[in-house]
Each structure stands twice: as C-alpha cells, then as structure tokens.
Structure 1
Amino acid sequence: MRKKAIKPSAYLTEVKTLSDRIVKAQQPIRILDAIKWDDNIKQAFFDGNCKKSPIVTPDYYQNRPLGFDPNEKKQEFFQIERDLMRKLGQLNPLSVIMRRICKEYLDVVRMLEARGKPTFSNISQELYGSSQDVFHVGDPTIADLGSMMEGTLSQLLKLDFLVEEPKTINAKDAVAILNEKIEAVFPGDGLRAMLSDGIIADAAAGTDYIKLRADALFNMRDLRVLEVHEIWVHLGTTLNGLAQPYCTFLGKGPPSATITQEGLAVLMEILTFSSTPNRLMRLINRVRAITLAEEGADFMDIFDFFRDKGLDKEESYTLSSRVFRGSSSDGMPFTKDLTYIKGFVLTYNFMRLAVSKGKPDRIPLLFCGKTMIEDMKVLVDLVEEGTVIAPRFLPPQFKDLMGLSSWMSFSRFMSSMNFRQLEQDYSNVL
C-alpha cells in the first residue's frame, strides 16, 4: 500500500516559494563570463611582444552586455528581500539567511555595473575578501599565510623526488576518464565532463558538468585532483542542494558560499593525499599576485611576477588576467582567488572545533548544498526539523567519521606546540 504524501505546511510552502524566487532571480547572473577578457585582448598583448599592459577600460566592459537589466535585477532582489520580511519575519533564521543572500546578489549586480572602475574591486573585497584580512585579532593576514607557505613549498619544489609526472593526457582522453569516475560516483544522475574552448582555467565545474579546456594537458594526479575537487565537492554539493525540497537556494551559491566551496575542495585534496607541493604553490602564487595588486602592482608587474616563477608567457598571461578581470590593467584586483586559502582555513577550523566540542556529526552538513560556515548552527536545526534534508552524497572520508574524528582530535594539541622550539629540539635529528 502506497504511503500518502504528506502535504507541506503553509510555512514550508512559503519558504520554497521565496527560495525558488531567489534561484530564478540569480540565473542570468554570470560573474566570470561578465568580467573575462576576450581573446583579442590577449592577441594584442602578444602582438606587442608582451611589453605593454592590455588596454582594458570601463568602455571595454560597456560593450560586453550582462544579459540582464541591472536596475530591474536590483529591484527584483530588493522585492524578494522585502517579501521575506513580510512573510517569514525579521528574526526567522531562514529569513535572515535568504535576506543576506539577496543583499549579496545586490552587491554582485553593483559590482558588475562598476566593471573597470575602482568600485568593482571594492565590492569584490567585500564579497570574497582581501589579502589583508585576518581570521582573528592578532593572527597573520591571508597575505602573511601565503608568504609562510611559500617558504616551505619553495624548499619542497627543489627536491627531485617530488617532481610531478609529465602531462601527457589530452583533454579529450581526460574527459573520457572523468566521465567514468562520474558514472561510478553518480550513476544515472546525468552529470558529465565535456570539452570547452571558452574557459580560462584548465577545468571548471557547472551545475551538472565539468568543463575541460580543449587544449589543456593533464597527468593522472591532475585527474585525481579534479575528481575530488570538482566532482566530489562542487558537483556533489550541487546535487545535494538541488535535492532540497524547500531550501532550493542551497543548490546555487552566492559569493560567500564560494569561500566554503573552494575551501572544502582544497581540504578534500589534502585529506585524500591528492594535492602536490606544485599544486599548492599555484594557489599560493595567486594569493601573492592579489597581494601585490592590492599594494599597487599593475598587469605588467604581475605578469613579470609569474614569469620570474618560471611560468611561460601563455600561463603568465592567463594568471595575470585572472587577477585583473573585471578591473583595468592598472586597477585593483578581482579577489576571488583568495577563496581557496581563506576557505580552507575557515573550513578546517570549523571541522577541528566540531570534533573538539564533541560534535563531529555536524561536519557532513557542509555537503547539504552550497553552504556557508556562518549558517552551520542554523543548518543543524533545519535538518533536525526536516526543513533541510541531510546530504544524499558524501565523499568516503565523511561517511564514516571515525577516521576523520581521530585525525582532527590531534589538531588542537599539535597546533598549541611551539614550532620554533620544535625546530631547535629536532635540529640534531633532521
């Protein structure tokens, strides 16, 4: 005998309606597409023998339509925000979360309106952070953390036995390998890997796909990183978010969710021993480049920075354009690339504190969708009451929390030890 479907309450029906409105309103907003530089900018730079910064001004962006009317879009989010107040109330936890998301998207629209102007970078710092941000009073800045890691990684990269294997797998073959992995993890869910000519990075995740740049080359470790970073985290959390019956906004992440997403993805690389010193150094170099740009460096300064790191002209241009996309070549940076390290620190600290407080069962809730660290306490209550469902997919390391809890239980103890004293004590051993 079939069970009779339980009709959702008027409250849950209202939550879903408002949540769906947020999801629909954000659909035409494509931040990276709106700020990337066209191939003709790159071609002109190389035609000039890489001697002069690309000419990118506010007028350049005016010729790149956003795909939506900014004023109408701002009014739409403002109206959703007002309706959240009217229908869910000011203090209702979901109202607070969804109103904050609306405010973030309002900032995103304002940021895109200001492409090529100083306001663009100011809003970028509000959304993604600045290299001068700290996590706690007296702690090192994100820039300081980058410098500290750079010193350690530089030593490791000098070691012959830590050299990465050559990249001999073309993008077409890589797509086939990744599609096998996707089918093994998400059988029948319609997720896929595909080729693309329109992305800057070697790979990028969408709603139900991973795009690989058609001319990129990979090795098997690269594909392992893509598996745990893009498939397990980005596609996995998207799938979990889209499965939410009421809080459908968890299927689409605003910028603040990007911080948790990228941090969780980098953490997953490390937990699975998939990352490499070279991979981490690439992430740190992005932090260093943003730091330099915030201190006044222009495009040519950043291009030369990457060339001094041993990168070829092609990759140096690609990474430099990531720093200044949406801005001008002598303006302040787009700071999204800070989210990898910033998010890693925030996510790792959340996990180790959850274990130390005897609440490791909260860690898997990071995978409920495009979550934010600051919402985790509310998320626990929402799962308990059934408003949010527990994640359908979890990576192996999060299904059985025994190993992860054991690992994290040492973290607080180890971090309290004086590292400089350890260096002195072990000086006769290493």
Structure 2
Amino acid sequence: MSSILHNSVLPPSGYLIEVKTLSDRIVKAQQPIRILDAIKWDDSIKQAFFKAQCKNMPLVNAAYYTTRPLGFDPAEKKLEFYQIERDLVRKLGQLNPLSVIMRRICREYQDVVTMLEGRGSQTFSNVSQELYGSSHDVFHVGDPTIADLGSMMESTLQQLLKLDFLTEEAKTITAKDAVVLLNEKIQALFPGDGLRAMLSDGILADAAAGTDYIKLRADALFNMRDLRVLEVHEIWVHLGTTLNGLAQPYCTFLGKGPPSATVTQEGLAVLMEILTFSSTPNRLMRLINRVRAITLVENGADFMDIFRFFREKDMSEEDSYLLSSRVFRGSTPDGSPFTKDLTYIKGFVLTYNFMRLAVSKGKPDRIPLLFCGKTMLEDMKVLADLVEEGTVIAPRFLPPQFTDLMGLSAWLSFSRFMTSMNFRQLEQDYANVL
C-alpha cells in the first residue's frame, strides 16, 4: 500500500457541518443491523441434518427465525431512516448530490429491514434480489445474464481443473497459524491503525472482513496461495476501503457500506485477486459454483438439489452443507435464495467495465476513487466532484497497482479492441497453433 496526500482542509462551513451531522446519523442508525447474523442457521440445524445422514431437509421454517431476534424494532428503525431522509431534503435540498446519495442509502436500509422482517418468506428473497441482484439479470442491454456468465466460465474452468500442473498445494496451515501470518501483513500495511486478524466459530466462509478485523473460521485450513488471496481481497480492499472511509471528515457514511456497495466492494476485491495473479481456477470455480447454485434455486431447486449439486462437484458433505446453507440462509430449504453471493462475479464485471471505460474516456484518475470508502459505481462522477472540492478526501491507502496509473492505463487501453474480436473466429484461426 502507499499513501497519497489529502486535500487541504479549510475550516468546515455550515453546509459541511450539516453534511457530517446527517451522515453520522446514517452511520449510527445502521449500527444494530447485522444481516448475516440475523439470517444464519445455528449449529443445531447442521447437527440434525447430519444425524439424519444428510437425507432430510434442514428443519428451518419461518418460525425458526423468530428465535433469532434482530436486536432492533423494525418499524422504529424504518421510521428512523425515513426521518433522516426527510431531514436531508429539508436541510440539503432535493437535488443536492449528497442529499440524493444519502437518501438512496436511507431507502436501501429500509429495504434491508423489510428483508429481515420477511425472513423465511418470499418477501425475503424478493428484496434480496432488489438489493444484490438475480442470476437472470443482464449486465447491459443485449448482454448475457449473470447465469449465462456462470455457465460459460464453468466450462472453461472445468477444463483447467483437469490439468495436473494446475493442482493447488495442500492446505496445511491452521487458522491459528494463518492469523499470525495475516497479522504480520496487517501491521506492515497499516501500522498503528488497530486492525487485526482473529479466529471465529460463527462464520460459514473460511474468512470474512469486519469493520477493523478479519475473521478466520477456527476449523479452516489454508495454503500460502489462500493467504495471498486473503491479503489482497480482505486486507487491501475491504480493510483498506474501511480505513479510507473512516478517515472521511464529512461523508462518514463512506465508512459503512449498504448492500449496493457490496457489489462494488466484492467486485473490486475479486478484480484485485486477478490483477495480482493471486487467484486460481479452483478459487474462481468456487465463485462460479455459487452463481450456478443460486441460478438453480431461482429455477426451482431446493436444498437437497443444491446439496447434491455440490456433492457431484466432489465436495465433502461438510463443505456441501456449508455452501448450500449460504444459498438458503434467511430463506427456507424449499424457498427462494439469498442472492448476495452473486455480488462477487457481478461486481467484478461491472467494476472492470468501469475501469476500462475510464481509461477509454481519458479519465483514469477516476479509478483510485473506488477506494475512497464503501463506494458505489453509480456515485463515481459525483464522488470525483466531491474530491475536487474537498468534501471527500482522496484515499489514504491504495494497492500498488492503483497508484501506478500509467501501468494500469496501458493494461486497460487494449481492452476495448480485444473484446471486440470474434472469439469463435479466433478459435478457428488458432486451431493449428494450439
């Protein structure tokens, strides 16, 4: 990581003080909302499933979620965000760019509360699709859907995974040892910022980032390639953008990301894996399998169908259960999916397209602004203006690939031409070469 200079900050005007006050209210209002904690299945569900030898559906229905309190009153929470939204209009105006952004965030958090109220029902999945997307969504008019992308990549990756020389090294590093190694990386990149890696028993994934920490599942095993992925994905992107967001003097909402920011954040993190050559065909296949699983459920598959889907991928019963429960958490085993896992691939495509268009339009300086905090692609034009005027400060921390705009621009400058070429014709023309 490297630091870049902040804009000089003048004494805040009454307008900026108002922006900070309203932004702080959004940050405070969202604090008790814990989406993943509210929708996860506890260990008793898993134990009962394995006790039945993985032959019966997990015992989860709408009533199950009543045993998992949200920690806030949904009606009061939605009213709180509505009141902030109204105050934004009263104090900043209807068309003020920051008012538009913050009001959208308020409405999004109201949707989140509605989604959590609907746990175990179709409403939950309907709102999930609004927030994170559906596998049947297209990227742009006339483009393939997310599901189409999943199918296309699956066939390519399956060929690569058959190659012995692309086999990954064994996972022999315990989570406890991985925490030590990652903490060394964190201290080297962010000395004195209080960030840390830690063990956790309560997560489905091998690792997950929080506000100022990375959690590793206590029973997970890793190899050095895995730790490199965690470094660039979780530390460089998730913790780096958190620190940059928390450093914002006025737009403090950039330190906390609503679901729409998740698309950009996860896309940027996967892009970082690709740019640093840290990812692997096996890693990408895991992400594509999540897309394929959500697609199957949106087409009518139930938990047992998805469990068998993962087992047929030569995954263990343990891993197949964990991945299947990711798809159905917040829902029921015969219900519609929780679609958050689409954001990795969806976000990668959208973020990559933003970057290559920024270079094509002669605006590569817009690209580092993705790291100003928990940003959203639709706000980048406004964000550039806010950085220019000093309302938002440029990111303190950037991965090395994003500090070298010359190198990044050169890499991306060919992309428009390359993607315009007919791939089927290329296959024919290179048939005698490969």
Q: Taking structure 2 as the reference length, what is the TM-score of the superposition?
A: 0.98
Q: Which residue of 2 aligns with 1:140?
A: 144
Q: Which residue of 2 aligns with 1:417?
A: 421
Q: Which residue of 2 aligns with 1:247?
A: 251
How big is the shift at 1:336? 0.1
Letter in 2 for 1:164: E
Q: 1:363 aligns with which of 360, 367, 382?
A: 367
Q: What is the CA RMSD across the aligned residues, in angstroms?
A: 0.8
Q: Could you report, residue by residue, the CA deviation over 1:295-322 in whole angstroms, capped at 9, with x for unpaired residues? A: 0000000000000000000000000000
Q: Could you report, residue by residue, the CA deviation over 1:221-248 in whole angstroms, capped at 9, with x for unpaired residues? A: 0000000000000000000000000000
Q: Could you report, residue by residue, the CA deviation over 1:398-418 in whole angstroms, capped at 9, with x for unpaired residues? A: 011111111000100100001
Q: Which residue of 2 aligns with 1:111?
A: 115
How big is the shift at 1:136? 1.3
Matched, 1:296 2:300: yes
Q: Which residue of 1 aligns with 2:431?
A: 427
Q: Could you report, residue by residue, the CA deviation over 1:35-88 in whole angstroms, capped at 9, with x for unpaired residues? A: 000000000000000001102111000111001110110100000000001100
Distance in 1, Cα, partners of 2:82 & 2:361: 39
Q: Which residue of 2 aligns with 1:186?
A: 190
Q: Could you report, residue by residue, the CA deviation over 1:80-100 in whole angstroms, capped at 9, with x for unpaired residues? A: 000001100000000000000
Q: 2:177 aligns with which of 166, 173, 178?
A: 173
Check conservation: 2:9, 2:390, Cα contact below 8 A.
Answer: no
Q: 2:268 aligns with which of 264, 267, 288?
A: 264
How big is the shift at 1:7? 2.6
How big is the shift at 1:6? 4.1
Letter in 1 for 2:305: D
How big is the shift at 1:137? 1.5
Letter in 2 for 1:59: A
Q: 2:389 aligns with which of 360, 367, 385?
A: 385
Distance in 2, Cα, partners of 1:405 & 1:380: 18
Secondary structure in 1 matching 2:397: coil
Q: Which residue of 1 aligns with 2:128?
A: 124
How big is the shift at 1:138? 1.3
Q: Pairwise mapping of residues 23-422 of structure 1 onto structure 2 (< 5 A)?
A: 23-422=27-426
Distance in 2, Cα, partners of 1:238 & 1:141: 31
Distance in 1, Cα, partners of 2:66 & 2:302: 22
Q: Unaligned 5+ residue runs, structure 1?
A: none
- 4+ long deviations beyond 4 Å: none
Letter in 1 for 2:303: F
Distance in 2, Cα, partners of 1:361 & 1:8: 26
Distance in 1, Cα, partners of 2:383 & 2:142: 30
More RCO (CA 8 Å, sep 6+):
2
Q: Could you report, residue by residue, the CA deviation over 1:140-161 in whole angstroms, capped at 9, with x for unpaired residues? A: 0000000000000000000000
Distance in 2, Cα, partners of 1:334 & 1:353: 31
Secondary structure in 1 matching 2:142: coil
Letter in 1 for 2:219: D
Distance in 2, Cα, partners of 1:5 & 1:122: 44
How big is the shift at 1:187? 1.0
Q: Unaligned 5+ residue runs, structure 2?
A: 1-7
Letter in 2 for 1:249: F
